[in-house]
Amino acid sequence: MTRRMVRADGTSAAVDVPITEEDQPDVFVSAFMVNDDRFYSGTMNVRVPPIERTLSIGITPSKQQFQPGEAATYDVLVKDAAGAPVKTKCSVNGLMLEPGVARRRVRTGTL
C-alpha cells in the first residue's frame, strides 16, 4: 500500500500511480481532498490484466480477395507476451462486412 500527500493548486491534481504485477488482478485507488473546510473522497477499482499471460493473434489470408462461396484459408500465428510462438487450439467466428453488402454469417470452424 502506498500513501502520498499532494498539494493541489486548484480543484484538482494529476498524480502518477505506479502499477506493478503485485496489483493483479485489480487495485483500488482512493483520493481524499479538503477544500474550504469541506471533505471530498473518491475510490476507483482499476483492473490490472496479467500481461505475462496475454496472447497476440495474427491472421493472414492465403490471398487478398475471395469470391462468394469460395473456401478461404488462413495462416494463424499465436504468440505469448514475450513474442514466442505458442501451440494452441483456436476457433474462428465472425461476420463478414463489406461496403454496400448486408451483414451475413461466415461459416467457421476450429483450426
Work out the angle at residue 24's Cα, subtended by the Cα atoms of residues 8 and 58, and round it to the nearest 5 degrees. 110
Model confidence at 26, pLDDT cuts 50, 70, 90, reads: very high
Please give the Cα distance from 72 to 101 (Å, whole number).
19
- What are the two backbone dihedrals, phi and then psi, of residue 105, each rounded to the nearest 5 degrees? -70, 145
What is the reported pTM? Answer: 0.46
Give the model confidence (pLDDT) of 59-71 as tens digits.
888 888 888 888 8
The answer to whether the beta carbons of residues 76 and 59 sit under 8 Å apart is yes
Tell me the helix, strand and coil percentages in the chain, rounded to 5: 5, 40, 55
Give the model's pLDDT for residue 4: 87
Domain ranges of the chain: 21-51, 53-105
